[in-house]
Structures are given as structure tokens and as C-alpha cells.
Structure 1
Amino acid sequence: MGIFLTILKILGIVLASIVGLLLLIILLVLFVPVTYKVSGEYGDKIGGRVKVGWLFASATGNIKKTDDGMDGIAKLKVFGISIKKIRLMGHDDTEDKHKVKPKKEKKNKKSGTGKAPDERTETGNSQMSDLENDLVNSPVNGLKNNTGAADTTGINGNVRVGETGGKADSINGNESFDIDGESDINKEIDRIFGTGDETPEEDKTADENSGKTADEDVNKTADEDSEKEKVGIIEKLRLKALKILEKISGTKDKVLDKKDTLIRKKDHFIEFLDKPYTKNTIARGKKLLKKVFKNLLPRKGNANVLFGLKTPEKTGAMLGKVCMFYPLYHKWLHITPEFYEKKIEADLWFKGRIFIGSMAIPALFLVLSKDFKRTRNLAKKI
């Protein structure tokens, strides 16, 4: 029994310490303020600094203009010890030191035993000339005379063919052959290009008849195609007109439906605002917003501004507009006009404290209230 009680005692102590630690954390979050401080300058030097702290931790950010451009660094500290450093903008010089220089690629030595381009072209031309000479000295050169006689030059000698019934020596000069009528070459030409029996008049009449029938066929097909195109265009235009009319009627119906829904929502919204619990919720929400705004505003600060618009008229007009709000900024803003130069310079700093509890506790009571629940349920029905 005693052991059981000691175990329960230890468990109770552990649970109590955990609950106490959670309560301590909640109280710290609610009642320990978050501090912030902002400072900056614009003129000969351009830069800014922001510092946010809570308990023993803080985060700072510095931005300034250098010759290379804008440079920004953020630091995180705990108990004044730097934990992490972040480069926001600009170039980090330390990174260049750690970079390893890339190895230079070795140049590939070009080696080759081939001929130069000029030499290759010369050899190619010489080979082509040899081929041409061989073709010129081929066994048959062409046809001569209109009577059908042909002169052919062979490799070892010349062969002449007479008119009809003549004999010709072979290439070696030992054998001969007779040629009756047209030579084989003329027969081949007649076979390829025609027999030559048709007269020129018949050719002309045939060509004219074929040309006329072809023109008539082309005209008929062109007329048919044009009619089909006209019918197709008219059909497309009709379909497009029908689609446009359908869209117009559909949009008209949609507009009318939206109009009816907007009228209904307007009536429901007016009824929603007239409810007493809705009015109570809105009043409490306004008070909460005022507390939040007051809590976020800086408590201390100072700003010095020097501005000029080059002419006294423009500068005076701008100064008059700014002075209309003098009661709101007279404690922390000091304005100095410059009437004969166009310039602007500023130097400012401000700091404040944000209490999360002063915003969280009223917000929690507002959310848990009955009026807020009824208002939320009614708003969902709108």
C-alpha cells in the first residue's frame, strides 16, 4: 500500500509540474510583450534596421546601400549569442573564398595526315576530266547526215555505216554485219518518240478537241465548287447567328437570376443587421479593433523630414496639406521645408510593445459569447 501511494505521489508531482510549466508558458506568451524598434535614414546614407525581441531571443535585420547595390543581413540571437545568419540581399564575399576554381580543360591537339582541301579538289577535277575523255572516245559518237548514214568511232578503229545494205567492220576489224533500212538507233528513236505516221493536221485537230473538252470540264467543276462554297458559307453564317442568339438569351436569363438572388440577399442582410445580438457583436468587435490598433502603434519615436519641391509655391502647398493632420503627429514628426531645392531627406526611429494578452483575452471572450454564436449561425444562412 505504501509503494502504491508513493507511485501516485510521484505521478501527481510530474503532472503538476507539467501543468505548471504549461501555465507558465501561456502566461509568458500572454503578458510578456513583444518589443520592436525600427530606425532608418534616407539622404547621403540609405539604410534601415529592424529589431524584434521576446524574452531572451531577438531577431535583427540590417539593410543598407553600398557601391555594389543593396546589402541585407538578418541575425537570430538567443541570450545575446548569434545562432543563425541569413543573407537577405546582396553578395556574400565569404562564398567566393570557398569556391574552388574549375580546372582548365586541356586543348585537344589536332592531328591528321590527309590532304589539304585544295589538293583534294585538284585530284577530284583530274579524275572527272579522265571520265569525260573516256566518254568522248566511246564506241558511238552520234549520228551524221540526214540520209541515215552514221559515223562511229571505236576504240581500236573507225566504223562507217552506209546507206542501205552496207557493211561495217566490227571493233576488232574481223567481223562485219549488214544494215537494211533504218539503223537500230533510228528504230529505237522511233519506238520511243512515236512512229511518225500521223500527219501534223490530225495532231492539231486532236489537240484542239482535247483542249476544248478539258476547258469545258474545268469550267463545270469550277462552277460546281463555287456553288458549294456559297452554300457552305451561308450555312456557317446561319449556325453562328443561332449560337449568338442562344448565348444572348442565356446571358439574359443569368442576369435576371442574379438580380433576384441579389435582392434576396439584400433583404436577408438588412434583417441580419437589425437583430439585437448582431448589434451587440458588432459593438464588441469595434472595441476589440480599437485595442488592437492602440496596441500596435509605437509608444515612442522621432522623425525628422526635410523636403523641397524646387519652387516655393509647390512646397508651401504641400506643407499646408500636411499641416492639416498636425494634431496626430506633432509629438514625433518634425518637418523642415526647403523652398529653393528639390530634395528629400529623412531620419527616423520608433519603438513599441505588443501585448498579446490584451488582444487575445477580449477576442476569446467575444468568440465564446452567445451573441457571437447566434450571429455566426445566422450569417451562414445568408
Structure 2
Amino acid sequence: MLHILLFILKIIGILLLSILGLILLILVLVLLVPVRYRAGLQMRTIADYSADGKVSWLFGLICLTGSYDGEQVKLDIRIFGHSLLHKKPEKQKKRRKKPSQRQTREQPAVREIKAEKENIESKNAECMPIVEQAGPKQDEKTSGQEISDTEDGGTDADEAEQTSGTHEKNHIWQKLRNGSTRLSRLPSQIRQKVSSIGHTWKNLSKRKDHLQSTVEKYHSFWNSTCTQAAKNHILREVKYLLRHILPEKLEGALTFGFEDPATTGQVLGILCVLAVFTGNHLEVNGNFEEKMLEGDVSIKGHIRLCHIAKSAIGLLTDKNIRKTIKGYQSYRQI
């Protein structure tokens, strides 16, 4: 009985050790195996260009590829060689459906019914009578109305002149009344404007004092020893990450030109200095005669998650950073 119990415990221990070993293996692969990236850019003109890129992990077993040929963007994700976005279409056998005996029997009968309907419709169309449209009749009363309008025209003109004169007089009196009311309201409007200017000046002085106090407060917070120590630590970690993330190789040739030759010379000098840091694998040429941009550039590099994890752990465990975050939150609440 004891032998069986020891055997069961042995099996359980082997399973636990194998699970722990598998977890450790996965962690080592995730942290130490680099994520490799590659990108290329081909330019004929400023508007005509193409690009392609690839990101792979675990020796290409997991791969993300993309390309742009000037018209269309193509993306693909492959895991162990199988594409997730572009599945192969399955071959389907096309089977022709044979008509049943019932359909073959019904087809002649349907055709006969359609032919009878067409004959009946044609006969009905021939029997329909043709109706002629009657022309519009002219009104006979228009001449009488025109005569009566000419007779009454003289009296209407006299009445219109009288009404226009009365309207002009009323309009002048209304303008005079409006002008007098506006003059009586001027002193009160001037007082309101002066008081509003005084209020705005007081508000501006208060805002100025508040802004000055906040600037002094954040200036003292920035110059504190805790904040400066946190800033220096963050800058060190950023430099460390850039050193391990930036591309290792920058290759190709680039020819460019601007409308102003002076601008072309300045940009050429900057790019020549940057090309030194890439091991002189990038050939840069300037065209001082015309505006152009063409070339073929490619970059290669890799990223290891262990470097990112090391920087993240260092930043999270720093006491100065935690104190700085708490101090900033307290400053905002004040």
C-alpha cells in the first residue's frame, strides 16, 4: 500500500516538474528570443513609391508581413506557415441539377397558358377605341374684364398717391421718436460699459495672480531632488531602450533635391552626419539643379522583450518615481 502511494506521489511530482519546466521554457523564449523586423522603401518620385515590411518571432514561425505597391495595401499573418487572413478556397464540385419528371410535364402546359394570355391581350388592345383630346376653349369674358379695369384705373391712382403721402409722414415721425429714445438711453449704456470694463480688469488681475502662483508652485516641484532623480532615471532607461531597439542596419541609396540649392546643401550635410552612425551603409546624394526624391532604403533590427521588462521593473520599483507621481497628483488637487 505504501509502495503504491509513493508511486502516485512520484508521478505527481514528475507532472509538476514538467509543467514548471514548460513554463520556464516559455518565459525564456518570450524574453530572450528576439522579435526581428525589416522594412524597405522604394521611391521613383515623391508621389510614386512602394514599401514592404516583415516582423517575425521564434525563427519565423510567427510572422507578420505587409506591402504597398502604390495602389493597394496587403497584410498577412502566418503562424507555423498557415495564413490567418488569406485562406485557400475549397474546391467545390459543381453538380448540375437535373429537372424532375414533374417539372418536365408542367413546362408545356405553362407555355400554352402564356400563349393564350398573350392572344387575349392583343385582341383587347385592338378593340380599344381611340379618344381624341378636345382643344382648350378660350374664355370669352377676358375682353369685358380688361375694359372694366381701364375704367377704374384713374381712381385707383389718386388713392395710391394719397396713401403714400400719409405713410411718408408717419415714417418720419417714427424716426424722430426712435432717435429721442436712443439719446435718453445713452448715459445708462455708458455706465454699464464702464462697470463691465472694471469687472474685466479685476478678473484679469486675479487670473494673473493665480497663474503666477501656479508657475511658482510647479517650478519648485520640478526643481525638487525627488523629481530630478526620477527624471534622470527615466532618461537613462530611455537611452538604454533606444540602444537595443533602434535598427542595426540602414542600407541603400538616396538622391534628393529641393527648389532652393541652399536647403539641399543643409539637408545633405545633416544626412551625411547621420550616415556615419549607420556604418556608412547609406549612400546620400544631392541634386542641386531640380526638385526630386528617389532611392531605395532598407532597415533591419531586432527587439528583445527582456530589455523592455528590465526597464519596466526598474521604473516601477523606483521610490523617487512613485513619490513624484503622488506629489504631482497632490499639486493638481490644490
Identify the TM-score tier after normalising by the shorter chain: 0.5 to 0.7
What do residues 150-205 of structure 1 show as CA deviations (whole Å, max 9, x unaligned)? xxxxxxxxxxxxxxxxxxxxxxxxxxxxxxxxxxxxxxxxxxxxxxxxxxxxxxxx
Match for residue 50 of structure 1 among 38, 50, 53:
53
Give the aligned CA root-mean-square deviation in angstroms. 4.6
Larger radius of gyration: 1
Deviation at 1:74, TM superposition (A): 0.5
With the length of structure 1 as denominator, give the TM-score of the two structures: 0.55
Distance (whole Å) between structure 2 residues aligned to residue 236 and residue 20 of structure 1: 92
Match of 1:292 in 2: 241
User: Which amino acid is 1:253 matched to?
Assistant: K
Alignment of 1:150-169 (within 5 A): none
Query: How many correspondences in the alignment?
Result: 271
How far apart, CA to CA, are the structure 1 residues paired with 2:7 and 2:202? Answer: 79
- Which amino acid letter does the alignment assign opposite residue 63 of structure 1? Y
| Alignment-derived partner of residue 73 in structure 1 | 74
State the AA in 1 paired with 2:245: L
Match of 1:39 in 2: 40
Contact 1:299-1:352 within 8 A present in 2 as well? yes
Percent same amino acid at aligned positions? 27
Structure (1/2) with the larger strand percentage: 1
Structure 1: runs of 5+ lacking an equivalent:
87-110, 136-206
- Greater relative CO (CA pairs within 8 A, separation 6+): 2
Change (3 A) 1:322 1:353: closer
SS of structure 2 residue aligned to 1:84: coil
Match of 1:267 among 203, 206, 216: 216
Q: Which letter does structure 1 place at the counterpart of 2:293?
A: I
**Do structure 1's residue 281 and structure 2's residue 286 form an aligned pair?**
no
TM-score (normalizing by structure 2): 0.62
CA distance in 1: counterparts of 2:62 and 2:232, whole angstroms = 37
Matches within 5 A, 1:1-382: 24-43=25-44, 46-55=49-58, 56-65=61-70, 70-85=71-86, 119-122=132-135, 124-125=136-137, 221-222=170-171, 225-230=174-179, 233=182, 245=194, 248-308=197-257, 319-320=268-269, 322-338=271-287, 342-382=291-331
Distance change in 2, residues 1:331/1:6 (3 Å): same
Distance 1:260 1:346, change over 3 A: same
CA distance in 1, matches of 2:196, 2:277: 56
Q: Deviations over 1:325-357 (max 9, x none)?
A: 553345331123456665432111111111222
Give the Cα separation in 1 of the matches to 2:291 and 2:12.
Answer: 74
Alpha-carbon separation, structure 1, partners of 2:295 and 2:30 = 35
Aligned equivalents of 1:243, 1:8: Cα separation in 2: 93
Change (3 A) 1:13 1:247: farther
Higher helix proportion? 2
Structure 1 residues 21 and 250: alpha-carbon distance in aligned structure 2, compared to 1, 3 A threshold: farther
Change (3 A) 1:16 1:246: farther
**Unpaired runs of at least 5, structure 2:** 88-124, 142-157
